[in-house]
Amino acid sequence: MKLFILKLSKFILLPVFTLFMIDTLINVYSFDKGLNSSIDVKIAELSIIKDEINIVIAGDSRAERQLIPEIIEKKTGFNTINIAVSNGDLVSTVSEIKKNYSTSNFVFVISASSWQINDGAISPGYLSEKCFQKATIFEKVKLYKNDIVGFTKIYGRLIGEFANAILHVNHKHDGAIIKNKGFLGIEGVFKKMNTKEEIEQYIKSHRHYSNFVNNGIRWRIFNESIKELDNIASTSIIIQPPLSPYAKSFTKNTIIERAEKEYSQKLNTLSFDLKKIIFYDFYSKNEIVMEDSLYYDYYHLNEKGAVLYSQKIGDLLLENMSVK
């Protein structure tokens, strides 16, 4: 019996206790940290103008590659920067905003795609370290109950971001991106799929919508982050980005269409209770329709499309925000 208890302690209780202590340590010492070194780099290298209004573009790759600061700046007359990064989620973004920009001198334009509330989207890059940190220890285990390797890896990434934040590790961003005030333009036009089988496989294997659960852990954390943003003394636009017409056609009546529409409904409902946040749905509504030739893949506009999209966002800022 004693031998059994010793083995139980060694192989189960000790690892669990160690995990609990690491988790507690990170939570205590990084509560006010953004835990996204890619965003930190952009913030450090992109200048703001103190005591004046600044427009900050933020969020995921559909802001990083689709919203051009110079165009929005010309439209509004206010300094504009783009701190969005690939797979940058709203949870990390709000943490960075609270840390760096929480004054009335900022207007935020945040692209937030639907995968950010799917508990099944936990592949590398689809669940941020900050979002993972904000989950309880039991929620973390639930998210990765079928993926012990992924669970170990995200803890490794969390510890890495924690170390970067504590040690103030400095990284440099691509010079061309900084010159473009954070915008990363990509050329090209996507190719359509050739067969029905190819389309079915694309939908089946899409990591945004895998093991789809959009009313669970990540939605709770996302919801809390939006309310945090609403409490900051500034105005914010949350954008559900557009999808190419071709992608909308072949995803009709699929899990992809369902996920996008349910996400839109959730944000519309949530926005009724928010004072300083405006939600724009470019997926469901036809406020802006971009032809397929303006996309470099099914989800991302190319540089030509980004110009038109940026002009539209600039117009929306002028029409609806107090930035004149």
Residue-wise DSSP of 265-287: HHHHHHHTT-SSEEEEETTTS-S
Sheet holding 54-59, edge to edge: 79-82, 54-59, 106-111, 235-240, 277-281
Element (H, E) at 235: strand 235-240
Give pLDDT, residue 16.
55
User: Tokens standing for 205?
Assistant: 């294997």
Q: For 162-166, which contacts have Cβ atoms below 8 Å and span 24 or more sequence positions?
A: 162/26, 162/29, 162/30, 162/33, 162/35, 164/37, 164/40, 165/30, 165/33, 165/34, 165/35, 165/37, 165/40, 166/29, 166/30
Q: Which residues have C-beta within 8 Å of that of residue 282, sequence separation ≥ 6? A: 239, 240, 241, 242, 288
> Measured at the alpha carbon of residue 165, what is the angle toward residues 161 and 168, in degrees to the nearest 5?
130
Residue type, 218: R
Alpha helices by DSSP H, the chain: 2-8, 14-29, 37-45, 61-64, 69-76, 90-100, 129-134, 137-143, 148-167, 175-179, 196-205, 217-231, 245-250, 255-271, 303-320
Tell me the Cα Rg of the chain: 21
Residue type, 22: I
- Domains of the chain (ranges; CATH) run 53-121+174-320 (3.40.50.1110)
Q: How many CB atoms lie within 10 A of CB 261?
A: 14
> Measured at the alpha carbon of residue 74, what is the angle toward residues 73 and 79, in degrees to the nearest 5?
25
Give pLDDT, residue 81.
98
Give pLDDT, residue 163.
79
Give pLDDT, residue 323.
45
Q: Could you tell me which residues are beta bridge partners of residue 55?
A: 80, 107
Give pLDDT, residue 158.
85
Residue type, 139: E
- Exposed/middle/buried for 160, CB within 10 Å: 0-12, 13-18, 19+? middle
Q: For residue 39, give the nearest of 173, 156, 154 by alpha carbon.
A: 173
Three-state DSSP state, 126: coil
Kindly give the confidence (pLDDT) of every residue in the chain, 324 residues in length, as a single tens digit, with 9 standing for 90 and above. Answer: 555 555 545 555 556 555 555 666 556 555 666 778 889 899 999 999 988 999 999 999 999 999 999 999 999 999 999 999 998 999 999 999 998 997 778 999 999 999 999 999 999 889 999 999 999 989 999 999 999 999 999 988 888 887 777 776 666 777 888 899 999 999 999 999 999 999 999 999 999 999 999 999 999 999 999 999 998 867 899 999 999 999 999 999 999 999 999 999 999 999 888 888 999 999 988 667 789 999 999 999 999 999 999 999 999 998 876 544
Contact indicator for 130, 26 with CB cutoff of 8 Å: no
